[in-house]
């Protein structure tokens, strides 16, 4: 039998304390869910949730795995504390998409006017496609 080294005992204690703290922290979060009653709390949590969700999307699209995990952890904690994810505004998003597609159609059309023939044809076709997409998005919004 090997004697337990002083260092090993300390490491075990540190781990135990860390786990204990985490446990307290988690239970605090879950009890917070039932405690959140004021509109101010709810509003604050929701606002921070929305911002964290945007940061998570940016971090994920940038391929920053570690950063994504941290933002995901923030979101989980906020949800546990009672944050309610905002309801997606589908109609608003479609209108925004249609506006962007129309702008792209206008840009392609104006550039096609002075481009060399093959490039003009490609730009005109992309302009037409974006105009069609915008029309469809507008009709479903």
Partner 1 sequence: MSVIDDLQSALAGEHAAVYGYGVIGGRLSGSKKAQALAGLNEHRSTRDQLSRLIVSRGAEPVPAEPSYVVDVSTGQQSQLVSTAIKIEDRLCVRYANLVLNTDQGARTLAIAQLQGCAVRSALWSKTAQAFPGLVEATPQP
Residues that bind partner 1 (CB under 8 A): 105, 109, 112-113, 117-118, 120-122, 124-129, 131-133, 135-136, 139
| DSSP, res 115 | S
Q: How far is the CB of 132 from partner 1 (least distance, A)?
A: 4
Is the CB of 29 or the CB of 136 nearer to partner 1?
Answer: 136
Comparing CB distances to partner 1, the nearer of 80 and 120 is: 120
Closest distance between partner 1 and the C-beta of residue 110, in Å?
A: 9
Spatial separation of the C-alpha atoms in residues 118 and 120, rounded to whole Å: 5
- 59, 71 contact by CB (below 8 A): yes
CB of 23 to partner 1, least distance (A): 53
- CB-wise, 67 or 136, nearer to partner 1? 136
Nearer to partner 1 (CB atom), residue 38 or residue 114: 114
Q: Which residues of 8-38 are buried (b: 16+ CB within 10 A; e: fewer)?
A: eeeeeeeeeeeeeeeeeeeeebeeeeeebee
Q: Which helix (H) or strand (E) holds 25?
A: helix 6-35
Minimum distance of partner 1 from residue 105's CB (angstroms): 7
């Amino acid at each position: 039998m090997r004697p337990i080294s002083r260092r090993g005992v300390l490491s075990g204690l540190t781990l135990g304390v860390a786990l204990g703290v985490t446990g307290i922290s988690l239970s605090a979060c879950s009890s917070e869910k039932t405690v959140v009653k004021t509109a101010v709390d709810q509003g604050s949590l929701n606002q921070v949730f929305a911002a964290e969700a945007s940061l998570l999307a940016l971090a994920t699209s940038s391929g920053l795995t570690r950063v994504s995990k941290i933002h995901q952890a923030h979101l989980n904690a906020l949800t546990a504390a009672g944050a309610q994810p905002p309801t997606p505004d589908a109609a608003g998003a479609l209108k925004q998409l249609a506006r962007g597609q129309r702008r792209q159609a206008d840009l392609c059309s104006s550039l096609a006017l002075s481009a060399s023939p093959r490039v003009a044809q490609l730009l005109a076709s992309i302009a037409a496609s974006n105009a069609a997409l915008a029309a469809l998005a507008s009709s479903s919004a």
